[in-house]
């Protein structure tokens, strides 16, 4: 993973197993912001297993401002069949409200962009809720382009189980 970032009071570093409780806290705060608190089921043990177990499903970064944790990013590798190369999918990006407008979100994305370069990945992708105009404008200012020709589909719960058991 890329070197930790240290600049103007900001430090970004890879999360460690002992950060699982902090990551869960950030997930809950993000869910509250996104009006999805009722959907959160994650536990500290689940984060430990998923991020730091024998087969990690994702990676996480933590952002610190003057030594205080203020944000995080969770991401994982995906693969583009058209490009024949992997990429990174950013699952979550969150900065606590009192630390916004300091360049922390931009620094987290810059870190991930550098990581893509180091690993030879072709792209960095993520989704944003349609109503989240501040985030959409922020991403556009960075040069990100909305993929308006694509619609995300999801199978979960009973529908996922039904499909898995269908003959």
Domain that holds residue 150: 5-165
Rg from Cα positions in the chain: 17
Distance of alpha carbon 90 from alpha carbon 74, whole angstroms: 6
Looking at the DSSP bridge assignments, the partners of residue 63 are 12, 71
How many separate domains does the chain show? 1
- Cβ atoms within 10 Å, residue 28: 13
Per the listing, tokens 């430990």 go with: 48
- For the chain, percent of residues with pLDDT exceeding 90: 83
Q: Comparing C-alpha atoms, which of 88, 107, 93 is closest to residue 30?
A: 93
What's the pLDDT tens digit per position in 81-102?
A: 999 999 999 999 999 999 998 9
* pTM of the model as a whole: 0.89
CATH of the domain at 34: 3.40.630.30
Average pLDDT for 14-30? 97
Q: What amino acid positions are annotated as catalytic residues?
A: 139
């Amino acid at each position: 993973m890329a070197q930790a970032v240290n600049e103007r009071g900001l430090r970004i570093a890879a999360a460690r197993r002992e950060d699982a409780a902090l990551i869960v806290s950030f997930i809950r705060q993000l869910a509250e912001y996104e009006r999805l608190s009722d959907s959160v089921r994650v536990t500290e043990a689940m984060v430990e297993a998923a991020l730091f177990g024998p087969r990690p499903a994702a990676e996480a970064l933590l952002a610190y401002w003057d030594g205080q944790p203020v944000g995080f990013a969770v991401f994982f590798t995906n693969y583009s069949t058209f490009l024949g190369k992997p990429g990174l999918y950013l699952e979550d990006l969150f900065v606590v409200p009192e630390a916004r407008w300091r360049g922390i979100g931009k620094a987290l994305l810059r870190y991930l962009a550098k990581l893509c370069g180091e690993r030879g990945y072709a792209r960095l992708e993520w989704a944003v809720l349609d109503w989240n105009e501040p985030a959409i404008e922020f991403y556009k200012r960075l040069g990100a382009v909305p993929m308006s020709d694509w619609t995300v589909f999801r199978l979960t719960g009973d529908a996922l189980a039904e499909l898995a058991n269908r003959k």
